[in-house]
Amino acid sequence: MAALHIVNSSSERRTALDNCLRAASRGDTVLLIGNGVYWAVAPMFAGIAKRASDTVWCVLATDVKSRGIGTLLSTQVQQIDDGAFVDLVASHHPVVSWS
């Protein structure tokens, strides 16, 4: 089963994302939550897209909306609701959070 990686910090703590990308395998999913969603802003995502090409990228829609950055997002990142977050956890193994 593919792993789910969760990142909840923005480029202020970029090592969370760097370590995540280092440990993620092809076909894994990376979910950006909380301030992690700022990584999905198009020019920010462009900076990591090369290393991110073989993983699936999702962001929590609630967190995107509360930050007012919906129009800035990369099209390569999928917005999901909290219920879909639960589904991702259930359908992936292991679930890995990066701090």
Which residue from 90, 97, 87, 86 is spatially nearest to 32, judged by alpha carbons? 97
**45 binds, options another protein, its own copies, none, Cβ within 5 to 8 A by partner type:** none
Residue 42 found at the interface with another protein (CB under 8 A): yes
3-state secondary structure of 4: strand
Among the listed residues 2, 7, 8, 12, the single contact to its own copies using CB under 8 A? 12
Residue 67 found at the interface with its own copies (CB under 8 A): no
Amino acid at 68: G
Residue 75 found at the interface with another protein (CB under 8 A): no
